[in-house]
Amino acid sequence: MDTTPNPRPFAATLADRGVVYQPNPAPGNKPIAVGHRSSVVAALPERSRLDPPWVVPLQAQRVASDTTATAVAAAQMAAVLADPAQPYGAALSVQVADSDYSHAAYLHTLSAFSNHVVIARSASNRVYYRPAPASALACGHPTWYGAPFRLADPETWGSPSQSAEWLDQTASGRVIRLTLERPVDARTRSLFLSKVQPSTHRSGQAKFPHPAPLAQVSFGFFIRSAFVRPPLGSRSHA
């Protein structure tokens, strides 16, 4: 799931043309263009490492200027999952998405499909909150939130309640070590921290020193698909 721009800078009479995001390598230029953008849902078929990469387009829809890409994407995914002719609604399916799709409105829409798991990258500066502590006060409103869980501040993370580690290979054949950790708090039960580093490194430092936070919907299915995975060598504990 992602959006793709369709620049039309010279089509002055094109209906509903607007400013869309488009990477621009020119120094000092903003990553924007004038045109349309489309929301695309594609399936990633299972393949071996020797097979060429390819995807199966399932649905493409233009994002109008009076709506958002995530609103269109939520409607697209709901239609695909509700389609009895497609296998994704009845069987276990996993969706991967960028941080734009990690907010509550998008995740809540797809949480209605119990067999569907959304794995979305969370913004690195996002703040989650732990459960509020029990209060003995007889009056007044109880505390809404507990201590913050700041993704940008590892000092607030605490110890994970579950973790898994396994070896895998990149497309070039380089062996890497992946670590997945689940915070212990109930309010962050759908949050995982992933780390990637070479299996052997002279300095012992991680290839990517900052963990990538992952926010997802269905915790039970994600545990089954991500924590129970033995590629080259794995270990996990809870």
Q: Is residue 230 domain-resident?
A: yes
Q: Which range, 26-35, 133-142, 220-229, is most confident?
A: 26-35
What is the structure's pLDDT at 230?
31
pLDDT confidence of 184, banded at 50, 70, 90? Answer: low
Q: Is residue 188 domain-resident?
A: yes
Q: For residues 194 and 114, which has the higher predicted lDDT (pLDDT)?
A: 114
pLDDT confidence of 35, banded at 50, 70, 90? Answer: very high
At 92-119, the pLDDT tens digits run 888 888 888 888 888 888 888 888 888 8
Over 70: is that where the pLDDT of 14 sits?
A: yes
Q: Is residue 1 domain-resident?
A: no
Q: Is residue 62 domain-resident?
A: no
Task: Give 51's Cβ-side CA count (13 Å radius).
Answer: 8
Q: Is residue 80 domain-resident?
A: no
Q: Which of 27-36, 91-100, 135-144 has the lowest mean pLDDT?
A: 135-144
At 195-210, the pLDDT tens digits run 666 555 445 555 555 5
pTM score, whole prediction: 0.72
Q: Which of 39-43, 56-60, 72-76, 134-138 has the lowest mean pLDDT?
A: 134-138
Q: Is residue 232 domain-resident?
A: yes
What is the structure's pLDDT at 65?
92
Q: Is residue 152 domain-resident?
A: no
Q: Is residue 121 domain-resident?
A: no
What is the structure's pLDDT at 227?
30
Q: Which of 45-49, 102-106, 170-174, 192-196 has the lowest mean pLDDT?
A: 192-196
Instruction: Read off the pLDDT of each residue in 82-98 and give the average, rounded to a whole number.
Output: 88
What is the structure's pLDDT at 228?
30
What is the structure's pLDDT at 197?
61
Q: Which domain holds residue 221?
A: 157-238
Over 50: is that where the pLDDT of 161 sits?
A: yes
Task: State the total domains in the chain.
Answer: 1
Q: For residues 89 and 199, which has the higher predicted lDDT (pLDDT)?
A: 89
Over 50: is that where the pLDDT of 22 sits?
A: yes
What is the structure's pLDDT at 232?
36
Mean residue pLDDT of the chain comes to 77
What is the structure's pLDDT at 234?
36
